[in-house]
Amino acid sequence: MSAIARLDDVAMDVVHLTAPVSDADIAQLKLGDVVYLDGLLYTAREGVYRKVVDEGRGLPAGLAAMTNVNFHCSPAAAVRADGSYAMEAVTATASFRFGKSMSRWFAASGARVIVGKAGLTELAYREWFVPHGAIYLTTVGYGLGATYGRAIKRVVDVHWLAELGIAQALWVLEVERLGPFLVEGDREGRSLFALANREINLRLGEIYAGLPRYAQSRIGETTPEDEIV
């Protein structure tokens, strides 16, 4: 379906999604589309993944029915003296660290849309996302903390706050026009960053041709002849 072979082919069409995001909506997303999101989503990163993937605990009851959007994020948040929550900014954490957990995460959580930072490899998408019908949206910047923070309408709930702390707890958020995000991993497992990296790599040979090799490799490197270029 997609004729996107280079960064220049990206249309950057603006798309509005509502969570839970339907399979039909997921299927129509193209690399580089600019996405805004309405509805509910939840934050989950290392602490929550440890509970759900490693310890086999389910998501909090009812959550999977409410939304299928997982934000790799911890918020700038606080618990006020009256027990209510202050949350002013949200930004994503790098997602590739969750790579090897993703397949089991999708199976356990029912998530279909991951919002995060920096994406995963096309191999990761093909092996772990595509079989679950999941796609990846990257945040923009990075660091649109204030822009995204403004789109949070309500903290609906927070789970595992005492055990995991504010940064790692699972926060359920109601958002309105949260974005922009960019479609980084599509339904077929293609990656926008992979497109970019292929174009960047074409140039690196020329850049490195002008630079001398190191006088010595780093002591402790296990692959001294295999310089990363």
Partner 1 sequence: MIRPIPVKLIEDVARELTARAAIDIPPDYREGVRRARDAEQNRLARFVLDQMLENWEIASADRRPMCADTGLPRYYARVGNEAVIEGGFVALERALRRATAEATAAIPLRPNRVHPLTRADHDNNVGAHAPEVTYAFEPGRDFIDLTTVHKGGLFGSDYRMLFPADGVGGLKRFFVDTLVQFGKRGLACQPAVMGVGIGGAKDTCVRLGKEAACLRAVGSRNPDPAIARLEEELTALGNYVGIGAMGFAGTSLVVATHVEVAFTHTGGMPVGIHSFCLSSRRATARLHPDGRVEFRTDPEWFTDYYRRETIE
**155 lies in the site for partner 1, by CB under 8 A:** no
Q: How far apart are CA 31 and CA 13, in angstroms?
A: 9
If DSSP codes are grouped into helix, strand and coil, which group holds residue 153? Answer: strand
Q: Give the residue, chosen from 67, 68, 70, 93, that forms a contact with partner 1 under the rule CB under 8 A.
A: 93
Q: How far apart are CA 38 and CA 111, in angstroms?
A: 16
Which residues does residue 174 pair with via DSSP β-bridges, in sequence order? 40, 154
Closest listed residue to residue 54, CA positions, set 96, 97, 93, 101:
101
Nearer to partner 1, 57 or 198 (CB): 198
Closest listed residue to residue 71, CA positions, set 52, 87, 53, 92:
92
Nearer to partner 1, 23 or 199 (CB): 199
Q: Give me the least distance between CB of 23 and partner 1, in Å please.
A: 27
**204 lies in the site for partner 1, by CB under 8 A:** yes
Q: How far apart are CA 223 and CA 215, in angstroms?
A: 16
Q: Give me the least distance between CB of 105 and partner 1, in Å please.
A: 19
**180 lies in the site for partner 1, by CB under 8 A:** yes
Closest listed residue to residue 151, CA positions, set 135, 165, 140, 160:
140
**212 lies in the site for partner 1, by CB under 8 A:** yes
Nearer to partner 1, 1 or 219 (CB): 219
Q: Which residues bind partner 1 (CB under 8 A)?
A: 7-8, 10, 12, 32, 34, 47, 73-78, 86-91, 93-94, 117-119, 138, 140-150, 164-168, 180, 182, 193, 196-197, 199-200, 203-204, 207-208, 211-216, 218-219, 228
